[in-house]
Amino acid sequence: MIHILLTVLDLGGTFVFAISGAAAGVKHRLDIFGVMVLAFAAGNAGGITRDLLIGAVPPAAIANWSYLLVSILAGLAVFFWYPLIARLNNPVLWFDAVGLAFFAVAGAQKALVHDINPVMAALLGMLTGIGGGMLRDVLVAEIPVVLRADLYALAALAAATVVVVGHIFHITPIATTTVGGVLCFVLRYMAMRHSWHLPAALPPRGQPGEPNAPEERRESRRS
């Protein structure tokens, strides 16, 4: 039962993340091959990284043709019907949020199946969730969402933690993955809607670009 659940979560996450990758490719006006590459990279990078780290080799995304097929279908759908998807406000972020929820719980569950200790299982769940989005953003020369978005990695970690705690207390995996996935998506939704964020680093006082820098104050007085 758990293996069926993992496959469903993995393929669902692959499909949704592949849509976000393909949408980023269309947004940056890539050709159809570039869109397919981004779809596969976004949909499978997190899962491949997880599988390599826990010793599940060859990774499912390479050993099972279904992952490639799902990625290609998602990429083609976005390439030919992007105007429909673009009706969403920032479709990359919305599909990214759904994919994050799928992969965060799937990553934690698979790590637990391979007898990884609970703390590392939660961290691997987070890594599975953020991996595809990071590679997608790097390939289109953007700062990865995980480094600039509101409650991104934290949302994935919260979902993975729910799965791990449920495993410790012998709660059915279906219940914990459902609760964890919903929690992850709700956190991302609320963060995007209300601009929830963690404290950001401020430049040192007097550094160029900082509002109180002496040279900027002098320029302000001259104007």
pLDDT at position 207 is: 58
Question: pLDDT for 125-175, tens place per residue?
Answer: 999 999 999 999 999 999 898 887 678 999 999 999 999 999 999 999 999
The phi, psi pair for 32, rounded to 5°, reads -65, -35
pTM score over 0.75 = yes
Higher pLDDT among residues 138 and 217, named by residue? 138
Q: What is the mean pLDDT of residues 196-214?
A: 63
Asked which of 30-39, 101-110, 150-159, 190-199 is least confident by mean pLDDT, the reply is 190-199
pLDDT at position 206 is: 61
Cα 128 to chain centroid distance, Å, stands at 8
Residues 6+ apart with CB under 8 A from 157: 104, 122, 123, 125, 126
Q: Is the pLDDT confidence value at 117 over 60?
A: yes
In angstroms, rounded to a whole number, what is the distance separating the alpha carbons of residues 179 and 195? 23
